[in-house]
Amino acid sequence: MASLAKEVVLITGANSGIGYELARQLLSKGSYHVLLGARSADRGTTALHTIQSQHPQHSPNISFLPLDLASDTSITAATTHITTTHGRLDIIINNAAVASYTAPDRSAFRTAFDTNATGPYLLTKSLISLLRQSPNPRIVNVSSGAGSIGRRLTPASPMYKIQAEPYRASKVAMNMLTACLYVEYGLNYGVEGEEAKEGEERRVKVFAYDPGFTISNLSKANTVENGARSAEETVRSLVEVVEGRRDGEVGRFLHNTGEYPW
């Protein structure tokens, strides 16, 4: 078992877009061991090697983790690997997502929920015992303003007219599961990390966070021409949540400059 002084952070969907850029920025800080989670081994290892080439001084501090959130077998294997190889987990960032803009049939809903809600929740529950042993455990669920019911009902909101029902509903579900995890493991559970005695389980900091409209392969609409910002830019605010600079807003649905209604 590897003994690591650095905080171990798992990022799902980290082979591209926001997840990739977050892995790159966290690795560059030198204080984390990054687990780059991805469904595709080819894309995951390519992303890993690219990041390592950009930050050779930190290359031992990032590793690829095969992870398919739609597969219980894959989630179990990932949990076993983290436990046996690292023996600790400090941060889970549930970033992986899919968006379907085809007809909202049963298959589209099932696919969206598997990756955007059900999978992240089951992964988190599978790892929660390990996470609660961390001195400063946190869960960050990368959500979307499209998952805000309040914004969907507000005509002035830019999210008002967007359809994408499977994606929107799955992000609403992710937000509810964020609230459930916060109540169960953060609000009414355990003690704060610095106050915990040996053997006591720590209170987990839980957040939902929308990084904003970002250039990515999530949708063909996520382009500069449509107003999307680069992942390098949007991830900087997400790093603030990871590093604890917004801990005063724990248990909420945050974005880069404030808070969204659930």
Provide the number of structural domains found in the chain: 1
Give dist(CA 122, CA 162) in Å, integer: 28
Share of the chain above pLDDT 90, in %: 76
Q: Are 29 and 55 in contact (CB under 8 A)?
A: no
The predicted structure's pLDDT at residue 223: 57
Q: Which residues are catalytic?
A: 167, 171
Residue 157 has pLDDT above 90, yes or no: no
Question: 161 exposed, middle or buried (CB, 10 Å; 0-12, 13-18, 19+)?
Answer: exposed
Residue 96 falls inside a structural domain:
yes
Residue 162 falls inside a structural domain:
yes
Instruction: Tell me which residue range forms the domain holding 40.
Output: 7-259
Residue 154 falls inside a structural domain:
yes
Residue 1 falls inside a structural domain:
no
pLDDT interval class at 3 (50, 70, 90): very low
Nearest Cα residue to 37 out of 56, 20, 55: 20
Residue 38 falls inside a structural domain:
yes
Least confident of 40-54, 152-166, 235-249: 152-166
Q: Taking the model in full, what pTM does it have?
A: 0.91
Nearest Cα residue to 94 out of 65, 109, 115, 64: 115
Residues facing 159 on adjacent strands: none
Residue 234 falls inside a structural domain:
yes
Residue 234 has pLDDT above 70, yes or no: yes
Average pLDDT score, the chain: 91
CATH code (residue 86): 3.40.50.720
The predicted structure's pLDDT at residue 162: 83
Q: Are 216 and 16 in contact (CB under 8 A)?
A: yes
Instruction: Report CA Rg, the chain.
Output: 17
Structure tokens at 190: 């355990």
Residue 59 has pLDDT above 70, yes or no: yes
Using DSSP's 3-state secondary structure scheme, residue 191 falls into: strand
Give dist(CA 253, CA 62) in Å, integer: 28
Residue 237 falls inside a structural domain:
yes
Residue 177 falls inside a structural domain:
yes
What are the tens digits of pLDDT across the range 190-226?
Answer: 666 566 666 667 899 999 999 987 776 665 666 555 5
Higher pLDDT, 201 or 70: 70
Q: Are 34 and 5 in contact (CB under 8 A)?
A: no
Q: Residue 7: enclosing H or E segment and its boundaries?
A: strand 7-11
